[in-house]
Amino acid sequence: MENIVIIGNGIAGVSAARHIRKLSDKRIIIISAETDYFFSRTALMYVYMGHMKFDHIQPYENWFWEKNRIELVRGYVTHVQPKEKQLLIDGSRAIQYDKLIIATGSKPNKFGWPGQDLHGVQGLYSKQDLDLLEVNAPDRETCKRAVIVGGGLIGIELAEMLRSRDIPVTFLVRENSFWNGVLPKGESQLINEHIEEHHIDLRLATNLKEIVADENGKVKSVIISETGEELPCDMVGLTAGVTPNIDFLKDSGIELGRGVKVNRFLETNVDDIYAIGDCAEQHEAIGNRRPIEAVWYTGRMMGETVAQTICGNKLEYKPGHWFNSAKFLDIEYQTYGWVFSERNKKDHEEHFHWRHATEKLCVTVAFDKDSHRFLGINTFGIRMRHEIFDRWLTEERDIDYVIEHLRDANFDPEFYKNYEHEIVSKFNTDFGKSIKPKKKSIKRIFNLKPQHN
């Protein structure tokens, strides 16, 4: 019986294990240094906020693993030895493999800031980071102010977490508007305003110079590059992105870039070793995607794909249309297809932007200036139906069709107010069109075909 060893029990590794089990009887071993059981990393914040207990963010009950004959090993893999086809746990215990899947995820970036390793300075990625946060910032008496460095998705989540315990937060963002390397400016502006509504001290275009220690080697304050201002604080969150967590592979002979280099079959340069999820790096980016995709969904997809390959059905990693989502404090964000920020936009990409006069709602639709083809949509505060946009992208619909049928794509709960009329009329004004919004059609939404039986 073939021995499949997976390093990492995150969404990528666990998806691979589940699908290998669905397809085969192979022996499956998952090794993790982080936790005994798989948990949803994206939900760590809710544990700190008191919405859930840690148990709740484990998607499977503990009996699941034994029942499905997935063996779980707790330990830190220190060496991979491809020649012997084995790996060492904690430097000694050896485990043999026939096929090895590396799914070790990421670790928070540190850019060599002075003081970045002091007590009270931390990232937010692992279960250990969550535990550490309970030490560094359990309440506002212990943590009188927190400073967060890095304006991305983890940064804003950490800010939300700390605010849930009434801890004052200063949020240092390098860009001159929140996440504007990804979001077009109207959306980025909306989030700036929302961050401030939550009484978060947002400092745009502001960089960290250094972190200052007190006499015990614990953080005392941070100093800002631009102004030299010193901000007293008890905790510093470093949330300036993540890097593949692959240091243990340095001398293994596996080809590494920023991540573990893989081809479209998720194979590394060494036979029978694969890499998936956050730690995998494509030799060449796929479409508009980045070579390293540190996203929940892509981890899951890669896990499913590699399972097919390992079970004898060699399959390329071919992610479908891009989608993603996030929540910025109270505002939900969804994206389907590609909408680039002003910074990364190509010449042919044009945007239509609508924002509600008072509520925190907005929509940006990207389309091709010349062919009028629909390229993608970002929505804030309005839920959209994944299936519909996936279909429209596949069918290469034009922007007019999308605007006209927008009602079909709405996924807000029943009785919610609809804004399609407003959106369409703004589109008509902006582009000199006279599109009339179509009514919602159950037939179109569910793609109903006449039944033949």
Partner 1 sequence: MNLKNMSTCDRSMALTGQPPKEISRNQKIATLIGLSGLAIILLAAFNVSFPNKALWLSISMAAITTGTIWFSWEAYSKKLPGIKNDGVWFKSISSQGFWGWIAGIALTTFYIVLYFYPEYLGLVKDGENKGVIALFDPLSRLLSGNPASQWFVYGTLYTVAILAFGIKFMWKYRHNRYERIRTMSVMFFQTAFAFIIPELMARLNGDKILNGGSLPYYDLKNVWPLNYYNFEGYRIKSFLSSGDIGFALLIFGILSVFVITPILTYKYGKRWYCSWVCGCGGLAETAGDSFRHLSDKTVKAWNIERWVVHSVVVFVTLMTTAVIYSYLGTDTSKYWLTKSTFLIGVAVLLTVVFTLVMVFKRKELQKDAQYGAIGYFVIIMALIGMHFFSGDGNVFLFKSETLRKSYSFLIGSIFSGVIGTGFYPILGNRVWCRFGCPMAAMMGFQQRLFSKFRITTNGGQCISCGNCSTYCEMGIDVRAYAQKGENIVRSSCVGCGICSAVCPRGVLKLENGPLQGRIDSNQVLLGNDVDLMTLVNKK
Q: Which of residues 167-196 bind partner 1 (CB under 8 A)?
A: none
Q: Which two tokens stand for residue 276?
A: 């998936």
Q: How far is the CB of 119 from partner 1 (least distance, A)?
A: 12
**In 75-205, which ranges are continuous DSSP H helix?**
127-136, 153-164, 185-197
115 binds partner 1 (CB under 8 A): no
Q: Which of 323, 340, 392, 427 binds partner 1 (CB under 8 A)?
A: 323
Cβ nearer to partner 1, comparing 54 with 431: 54
- What is the distance between the alpha carbons of residues 309 and 265, in angstroms, rounded to a whole number? 8
Q: Closest separation between CB of residue 179 and partner 1, Å? A: 17
Nearest-5° Cα angle at 27, 24 to 15? 65
Q: For residue 313, state whether it binds partner 1 (rule: CB under 8 A).
A: yes
Q: In the beta sheet, which residues pair with residue 219?
A: 213
Helices (H), ranges, 332-445: 386-394, 399-404, 406-409, 420-431, 442-445
Considering only residues 421 through 440, tell me which ones interact with partner 1, judged by CB under 8 A.
none
Tell the smallest beta-carbon distance from residue 98 to partner 1 (Å).
22
Of positions 76, 265, 401, 431, contacts partner 1 by CB under 8 A: 76
Q: Does 139 engage in binding with partner 1 (CB under 8 A)? A: yes
Residue 305 touching partner 1 (CB under 8 A): yes
Cβ count near 29 (within 10 Å): 17
The vertex-126 CA angle with 180 and 295, nearest 5°, equals 45
Q: Which residue, 433 or 444, has its beta carbon nearer to partner 1?
A: 444
From the list 53, 69, 144, 258, which residue makes contact with partner 1 (rule: CB under 8 A)? 53
Candidates 373, 385, 426, 433: give the one binding partner 1 (CB under 8 A).
385
Cα dihedral 256, 260, 266, 269, rounded to 10, equals 30
**265 is a contact residue toward partner 1 (CB under 8 A):** no
For 451, other C-beta atoms within 10 Å of its C-beta total 5
Check residue 285 for interaction with partner 1 (CB under 8 A). Answer: no
Per DSSP, 346 falls in state -
Q: How do strand 273-275 and strand 260-262 relate by DSSP bridges?
A: unpaired
Residues 401-420 within binding reach of partner 1 (CB under 8 A):
411-417
Least distance in Å: CB of 130 to partner 1? Answer: 8
User: Of the candidates 13, 19, 159, 211, which one interacts with partner 1 according to CB under 8 A?
Assistant: 19
Residue among 82, 97, 126, 239 that touches partner 1 (CB under 8 A): 126
Among the residue ranges 140-148, 209-217, 223-231, 264-272, the one whose residues contact partner 1 (CB under 8 A): 140-148
Report the nearest approach of partner 1 to the CB of residue 449 (Å). 9
Nearest of 374, 376, 276 to residue 14 by alpha carbon: 276
Q: How many Å apart are CA 158 and CA 236, to the nearest integer?
A: 11
Contact 36, 13 (CB under 8 A): no
Site for partner 1 in 327-366 (CB under 8 A): 327, 329-330, 332, 334
| Pairing relationship of beta strands 3-7 and 27-32 according to DSSP bridges | parallel
The verdict on 84 binding partner 1 (CB under 8 A) reads no
Indicate the residue among 320 and 432 with the shorter CB distance to partner 1.
Answer: 320
CB of 7 to partner 1, least distance (A): 11
